[in-house]
Amino acid sequence: MIGTPPSSRPRPPRGEITWVGVLLLALLLGGAYFGKMWGPAYLLHMDVKYTTRATINEGVHQRDDQRLVRSLCDKLAALGHEEVVDEQGRVTSQPLVDVRPGAVTWERDAKATPARLHAAFEYVRAVRYPWTDQVAEKTFSVDITQDIDVPRW
């Protein structure tokens, strides 16, 4: 009979815990832990980019760029709030995405073909790890250039 020779090492019985199983379980639990901590921050970042693109789309008909920037900042602040403790020890509510109009780069290029609008800003998102009480901060950046030409069908 042709085949591989039997191994000199006996197979572990079914259901026995091996180092590979322990490693896979540790990777799964670690991935779930970090996914639970950082997943909401990245989902919020997707909402921030979507809101920025939607506001740029409003720039097709709205020519007042200062009004659009204020509208963008208000929409970003409305995406969610978190409770934080201030210097006096009071619990206050602050927006998850706190972007001021002066921190937003908003450039309209009407001379380009097609016309374009560029928006860019950064915001910091803090993530608190449970059980360790550590806080990690990540700076997210948004840099979007989009066509704002009126479609001619």
- Per-domain boundaries in the chain: 19-147
Rg of the chain (C-alpha set):
25
Which are the contacts of 129, defined by CB distance < 8 A and separation ≥ 6?
37, 135, 136
Residue 3 confidence class, pLDDT cut points 50, 70, 90: low
Residue 81 has pLDDT above 80, yes or no: yes
- pTM of structure: 0.80
**Eight-state DSSP code of residue 7:** P
Give the integer Cα–Cα distance in Å for 109 and 61. Answer: 14
Give the integer Cα–Cα distance in Å for 31 and 29. Answer: 5
Q: Is 9 exposed, middle or buried (0-12, 13-18, 19+ CB in 10 A)?
A: exposed
Q: What is the pLDDT of residues 4-37, one digit of tens each?
A: 677 677 776 777 888 888 999 999 999 998 888 8
Which are the contacts of 92, defined by CB distance < 8 A and separation ≥ 6?
83, 84, 85, 86
